[in-house]
Structure 1
């Protein structure tokens, strides 16, 4: 209870503050200010509040803050409106505040709304008045000068929940209040807040004898609603609408009328709203408005009589233009000298005469000046008693020279006077004519009547003839002689037909072409050297075909490649069957190794450079085949397994193509050649005996010199000496025997 009384006291203070603001605001009547509008609503209802400016003068920009009590009011929308809508922004991130920043390059003056705020009253809000404060932070005009701008707060009144039918008030906005025939007026129906409006019918009524409906359009407040518009009946416009959501406050419907009666009358346009329902489908009352309008008859200003020049509004350059100088009735003209000017670059005056009927008018004398080719047509009018009738005075004819806008401008060279010899007012009214060149159809035909070209050609310009060719015959070719007429300056529709001159052919010989093995030939022919017509056709002579010769195959050797059999033409040397290269056979080196074969390898060397390499098989055999090497003498080395390397020369030639050799591979100290060395003590004793015999008798064992081939024996002896050099000092002596003995004893 205490909390409720405190809330009521605060509300009363806010109300008092608002009243004080209203009192103070009267002092601001002459100064610029922004005022926050006021509104009232029950809990759960939504209202729109506008911030509007008054007494504004070229206001180009403004920044400020609107504050509200967010415990009672919920902000549901905020937007810059009117002239500030395009460049305006709002910020609603801070609870209880709306920061706004608006700009308009052209500035605004007078009174206008700049900001719309949509509030919904919270369901638990206490009844009372809540202040809507405003703080102006910055304002400037179109000259970027600072503007003194005051702020006037508003009040949002929270009422007790509604238990009776809600009433929605509609207000009018009008562009004008007084208008004349042909002028238009726009009348807008709007609300300030909608009290939950969701559906209804809006109606405008007007006097169809005074106005016609130019346009009727639903506006922004109805943008989200389903709506239908009826403008089918004169004097009546209606719009029905419905929406699931609440219709926001603002502009609903605009009617634009045009005055169709030239009368003095006071009338009105009435607006009514019916069948209104809120979002809860509860019926609502609607209070419309009447907009008073005043029609005024257009004021008629008496026209001053004039001398008028009349002529067609459009003409062609191939036509004569007839112009007439006409005097309005009621002029009372007694005497005047007139001059009608024209542009000599566009027109030539071909004649001037007094109009028919004026020569016989009693008391009227019109004299024309015969000099008419200098850009002026002059004539004098005299009627002593004054001429009050309207009449055609002078008729002029002109021939256009080219396209353009031509104007005949009348002028008075001496003062126009009435019968009392006093000057009278007389307007001069010129006349204009748009002169265009006509276009004519020009057709070019071949001599047989075939249409070669059909063109639209501008008056007095040249047509463009097409290419015309007549096919040659056996005796003649033809040249275009002309088109039977002049097409350089077209002045009417025209047709032209090609004319040809026959010229005998100039014969030229086309030499015969001999055929070749692959290309056809030609017989001798003839043609015309001028038109290229064929007089004697050249006929094709078949190609002769190739004369085949066999290119023998070449057998490959060990070092040289060979060739397969081929064929070629003996006449043109064209290859018929290409000879393909057969790879060189290469050399083969094979043989066997006696003695130790485990991990043995065969290497073929040339001047110390490895030419080929291979492994020795377990059975002692080896094979090096397909060797792409040159002929000559190579060194064959067999080594591996901790044995003394065997080396021997191997000669390779194209005649032999291969070599088969016998090799020996033994461990050092195996001088009896049985395949065992110092690792076997028993067998080593035999080696000691053999080495002793050699040292004592200088006798090489028979296994190293039993070959019938002396060169083979020499290789075996050298290999024996390398086996006997147990200490590897390069000579065989007692030291080697001692070394072998120690190896045998130590196992």
Structure 2
């Protein structure tokens, strides 16, 4: 075969390969697009580690669930190395009907059913395992097996499962133990009761750090509050954190620079009973990771509190429709038909029975807005009927109608009013069972508010009074009216005067002629020493005068009056020194005044006025990072130092001045890290996330992960072409 013929065959072969690739490429792409599966639902758990004799949590997660309505899941562990603490359903399936069964040793079975189906990712099971204190130090396998699984259409769903391993590590050899005790009042509890308890130790060995864990049955108890003991909180530089996000579990981590007191309450916790059944539930306290300030380790201990519970006895109580007195008088009675909210009343017929000889129903009144009342006051002798309709149904305790009765019975008549009904329904026309409650009315008297005097009292004899009923002869509050006695009017004694008679002190009665009056004769006038009146004092320049008067020393009647003259006084001089003027005050020259009149030689000198000094700063408040500062710019007089002006000036806020970024949480392949920096002035903290670390496998897959099927086929084709040319070349060389 010549080279030319061979080359033509090779060329034809290459063309055929290339054409085949391009012809079948769309079909291959279509197949790939059609067959590329969505991400399959998975159940998995992450690897964990635990020291001998301590506990660890295994969290089982669901991923890529789509409309999974039913699932059976099995978790199996090595019973030679672990004992089960507890197993609870996760928040991802909180709305589903769920059962967690751990009756088989070494196996936990989770089964759930959800009408609406479960979709997405989340926690479905939490398992607490305790490592045996003598467990072999190695890795132990935990198997997760998925049983039956189906969607809301009862179609089978394939779910893959991935177990995990537990690495058991050697426990630290510790000889000393801190023993903790519980403090709890052992009283049987019912649903809604509070369970309060605390944990303490008599010998803390001076621990400076510890972990405290609480396990409880979250189907019986709900956490109400949890707090670290006050003595631990007040220890030097104490810090602690509380993690109560996991159902039925609380963890408190504590650390300080100094030792805890020897006797110390470490934890106070309270729960609300949410279960309603007879039995017992336990609250488990576990202490671990105890170290003193020298990092000497101590064994922790457990303390278990058993809470006895009892079921609340069930009582069937039907909602009531009752008669209640709105108003009761001697002439009229108003009764309200009152429906409790749980009747859900939307419609019904009601019958009110009474004694027709004692009462007459005169009106039925609607008192509930939006309702309709049809009433018959004389449906039968001694019976009123009404029909009630309210489309939406009542939602609260409601008075639905008012019946008004005319009173025919005499006072003090006791009468029974009863109520019954039929066709009682809610807004959806469901028949309601209710309890009917009547009422008893006693006709009251029409007693007057005012007393009526039955017998008038006198000064010497008693009387009586009472309240009278307007409808009958009944009286009440009969009260004796004391004898009035004399209503004394006391008259003060009056001494006789020079010209008038007097009398001794005496009494009279306002109602009769009783008196003790005795008269005293007049005495005549007696002259007293003369006195000055109407005095006008002499001034510096004018004379004065006064009257000299003589009065009777007994009755003070004026007996004589004579005018007297007072000579002028002349000026009484007072000398005043000169005063120099100031910035704001006037001055004067030396001058004289008179002490008795307004005589003066005063001459005024005008004030000088202020002289401004340089402005000074006062009340200065420095600016901070976020807030402006300010100060007062003040000008004083340079002579008298008086403030002339004051103006407030603003100092603008400085803004934050940050230091270097500090890594707070290192990033990993699966989680971002975190770093922060603080302001050098105010300690303000700013945080930001740090990108996850790159995975070497992901980088490798990234080199080819972006190639589509077309590119791969083209590469294969080119490689085939290159192989053909190499083969041809080798043949030529052999020739």
User: TM-score w.r.t. structure 1 length?
Assistant: 0.25
Structure 1 or 2, whichever has the larger Rg, is 1
